Amino acid sequence: MTLPERQTSLLEVRLGKPAHGGYCVARHDGRVVFVRGGLPGELVQVRITEDRGRFCRAEVVDVAEPSPHRVPAVCPAAAAGAGCCDLAHATVAAQREFKASVLVEQLQRLAGLDMPVELRALPGSADGTRWRTRVRLAVDADGRAGVHRYRSEEILGELSCPQPVPGTVDGIAGRRWRPGSQLQLAVDATGERQIVELSATRRHGGRGRGDVRRQRLLDGADRAREHVRDRVFEISAGGFWQAHRGAAQAYAEVVADWAALRTGEHAWDLYSGVGVFAAQLADQVGESGAVVAVESVAAAVHDGQRALADLPQVKFRSGRVERVLAELRHAPRVVVLDPPRAGAGRAVVEAITAREPARIIHIGCDPASFARDVGLYRAAGYRLESVTAFDAFPLTHHMEAIGLLVR
């Protein structure tokens, strides 16, 4: 059957276990079908959206036998076809169970581990709404801001999504913006909103995050103020910060607990951003110790140096992690790293493990990349002693995992 024919026909399938990416696995005529918009156990009618030969992707168009965990979807943008709230049709508890099972499966498949995982809630999002402090919008040819249709370049004008904190998108729909640009909206800890325009022209960026766009501050202060464990961080307009308002604090507490450094020891904070984790390590090693923070984005290095100016034991190194690691002389007792979505990869993992740190604290926002990196650590003689996962992106299939690896 050709793809156009499949797209106009409906199939009835019984949904099985969750799969990476927010899908449930089903089978039809001997082929695997990855279904979006369903829950395990449901009998649904689906429309094929992509035929890859050995498998298909599909979306639910009708639910014949709903799961007891299904609830009315709460996101108008997702209902219009946006890719934002792809688990909004499930209870919060079911969302967390869905995501935890995906992480468990990825650890089994890619790292050879069988470990139970429980997704922990972050403060301030009991119902899964109003947690997001950073939003990126696209601007269409007519200057209207919107969000992309799922797996498409089409821009939808519907901005009603329950994720952003109040005030994030106020007034955006009524204005006209530069066609082809993007808007980055941020609401900081003080409630101040920034609007940053990202140009249509892209250039290669740092931190392994692909292309970046030229930035122009349109509204708000030139620095966002954030707080973690009584320390103030001022982030340059358009700079990176965790999307969930409770994430940075929660991750910092885990890092501080697991690092267990002693006075005078050495540590690394890789992909450090402005040095949130470096600050936790510095408090433990004291002025007789040393913390090296490695970050490729120059603005983040500058912001971090300002925020941690009272910690002489912290030294920032600007550059790609792969290059800087080869230049570092002192072997660390603890390494903390928070790589981009694609993960650290073989070269970085091998460079870290060659220094034989006693503890590695690895943070990942993609379960497959996280599990793949864990497998590389295991091959180098480390074991995953503990894993903590956070529901850092409620209403979506995304999560954050933190692993403690020891020799």
Residues contacting residue 193 through CB under 8 Å, at least 6 positions apart: 167, 168, 185, 186, 187, 219, 220
> Number of folded domains in the chain?
3
Do residues 255 and 386 both lie within one domain? yes
- Does some domain include residue 80? no
3 state SS of 312: coil
Q: How far, in Å, CA of 341 to CA of 329, rounded? A: 28
Do residues 358 and 270 both lie within one domain? yes
- Best CA proximity match to 137, nearest among 213, 70, 79, 191: 213
CA dihedral 120→125→127→130, nearest 10 degrees, is -140
Q: How far, in Å, CA of 207 to CA of 319, rounded? A: 8
Do residues 153 and 25 both lie within one domain? no
Residue 178 structure tokens: 């530069």
Do residues 364 and 330 both lie within one domain? yes
Do residues 251 and 220 both lie within one domain? no
| Contact (Cβ atoms closer than 8 angstroms) between residue 94 and residue 66 | no
What global pTM score does this model have? 0.94
Residue 287 belongs to a domain with what CATH number?
3.40.50.150
Q: At what angle do helices 276-285 and 247-259 cross, to 10 degrees?
A: 30
HEC sequence for 324-362:
HHCCCCCCCCEEEECCCCCCCHHHHHHHHHCCCCCEEEE
Q: Which of 70, 91, 109 is the last residue before a domain boundary? A: 70
Residue 365 appears among annotated catalytic residues: yes
Q: At what angle do helices 92-111 and 367-379 cross, to 10 degrees?
A: 30
Structural domain range at position 45: 3-70
Residue 55 belongs to a domain with what CATH number?
2.40.50.140
pLDDT tens for each residue of the chain, 407 residues long: 344 444 557 999 999 999 999 999 999 999 999 999 999 999 999 999 999 989 999 999 999 999 999 999 999 999 999 999 999 999 999 999 999 999 999 999 999 999 999 999 999 878 999 999 999 999 999 999 999 999 999 999 999 999 999 999 999 999 999 999 999 999 999 999 999 999 976 554 444 444 567 999 999 999 999 999 999 999 999 999 999 999 999 999 999 999 999 999 999 999 999 999 999 999 999 999 999 999 999 999 999 999 999 999 999 999 999 999 999 999 999 999 999 999 999 999 999 999 999 999 999 999 999 999 999 999 999 999 999 999 999 999 999 999 999 99
Do residues 105 and 176 both lie within one domain? no
Do residues 52 and 190 both lie within one domain? no
3 state SS of 75: coil
Do residues 362 and 264 both lie within one domain? yes
Do residues 339 and 287 both lie within one domain? yes
Do residues 393 and 303 both lie within one domain? yes
